[in-house]
Structure 1
């Protein structure tokens, strides 16, 4: 897996057309031996829980904004032995947060901590962080 060092580089990759996803875990090798689990119910999920990186057609802002938001959704899962990585695969369902579940996973790249930090800064600058939508 190659390493992505900037948010701009990740946004460029997300625009290439292939559906790409981000996952926070111990990496592809560890994920081959595990399944995703819904922590509230304990149910095993039929694929890896991921977040989509390529913007939806209705998105009318810069791609970097979308990617930063998507990286921030599950950043709390990044712990010392877990990191963000980009992958693709076949969607086989939806998880409890309506997130895609992937099978036939193909790893693409690992994200440097710098990319996640850059996404965090941009996210806080351009989004109404803390607004619950009510």
Structure 2
């Protein structure tokens, strides 16, 4: 991990950053230095198409969430994508950035440009997010595609030709 960024160690730190009003995103990658080296955007993993920004996930609550805890919203957003730390390899970590949305990617995720790295997110924050989600009454799990699709396999019932 790049040592020049601070490390956020609590959901409260993320909630405080969000309260300042800037669009805040989380990206799961090897870090801002690696992401910016030679590439202003991301690539679509399925097609290899260059995208106009870095694929990231928004942390700001939607307007309809008003009056509910920002901490829970952030916990859920981190939890939703927590599988990426295992799926993308041991050098992949979550980090916080602010920036400008340049469009949407193929999975409807924001593509962010003019990024300003803010902080790494410690593993303890992911554990805190998991605990916060577990305290809720409804059943919920992280967003995840079946592993067979990661290798380019087709789903059952898909016709070819």
Shared topology, TM-score over 0.5?
Answer: yes
* Partner of residue 37, structure 1: 43
* Partner of residue 65, structure 1: 72
Shift of 1:124: 2.6
Shift of 1:111: 0.7
Distance 1:73 1:43 in 2: 25
* Partner of residue 82, structure 1: 92
Distance 1:69 1:41 in 2: 29
| Alignment check: 8 A CA contact 2:11 2:125 kept | yes
Distance 1:16 1:118 in 2: 22
Distance 1:40 1:123 in 2: 31
Q: Does 1:96 align with 2:106?
A: yes
Larger Rg: 2
Shift of 1:37: 1.9
* Partner of residue 17, structure 2: 13
Higher strand share: 1
> TM-score, with normalisation over the residues of structure 1?
0.88
Shift of 1:90: 1.4
For CA contacts below 8 A with separation 6 or more, give which structure has more relative contact order. Answer: 1
* Partner of residue 28, structure 1: 32
* DSSP-derived class of the 2:43 partner: coil
Shift of 1:42: 2.6
* Partner of residue 139, structure 2: 128
> TM-score, with normalisation over the residues of structure 2?
0.75
Q: Does 1:110 align with 2:114?
A: no
Distance 2:23 2:82 in 1: 20
Distance 1:99 1:71 in 2: 14
